Amino acid sequence: MPDPVRRAAVLGLRPVIAPARIDRWRQAADIWVVSNHRHEWLLPVLDEAGFTAVVDRIEVSSLTGRVKPDPAAWEALLAGGTPPDRVAIVDDQQPNLDSARAIGLTALRADGGTGWADQVDAWLASTG
């Protein structure tokens, strides 16, 4: 398996938001990662970047068998009885956003910058 930097590059991952900001969100909401990846590659990258310490759950398609944009990938977020209007997802792929909205979730587009994080802040403030 390649070193952590090479693994992150192959996955196309780069830090987009500081784990400390995500940890602040966690004070108001459960934070999950829902990803279409191989867990053997993704989990070490998330751990090395400090994300596994600040999220509540990680759902990786290679373990769950649920692949976005299939709504079943998002339905796991509702399995505990959480109402759809209390769930926001962030994704960079329009089909994934569309499938989340189709089951009543708030869907925010990650555009490569950090503006989406400000949208998460606003959403959390409006639902608190």
Q: Mark residue 58 as left, alpha or beta (left: phi above 0; alpha: psi -120 to 50; beta: remaining).
A: beta
**What's the pLDDT score for residue 61?**
97
Q: What is the pTM of this model?
A: 0.84
What's the structural domain count of the chain? 1
- Report CA-CA distances (Å) from 9 to 14, 41, 112, 114: 8, 11, 15, 20
pLDDT of amino acid 6: 62
Looking at residue 4, its pLDDT comes to 59
54 in Cβ contact with 80 (< 8 Å) = no
User: Could you tell me which of 104, 112, 79, 81 has the C-alpha nearest to residue 89?
Assistant: 104
* pLDDT per 10-residue tile (average), the chain, 128 residues: 58 66 90 92 86 92 97 92 92 95 94 86 90
CATH number at residue 76: 3.40.50.1000
SS3 content of the chain, % helix, strand, coil (to 5): 50, 10, 40
Residue 22's domain spans which residues?
4-127
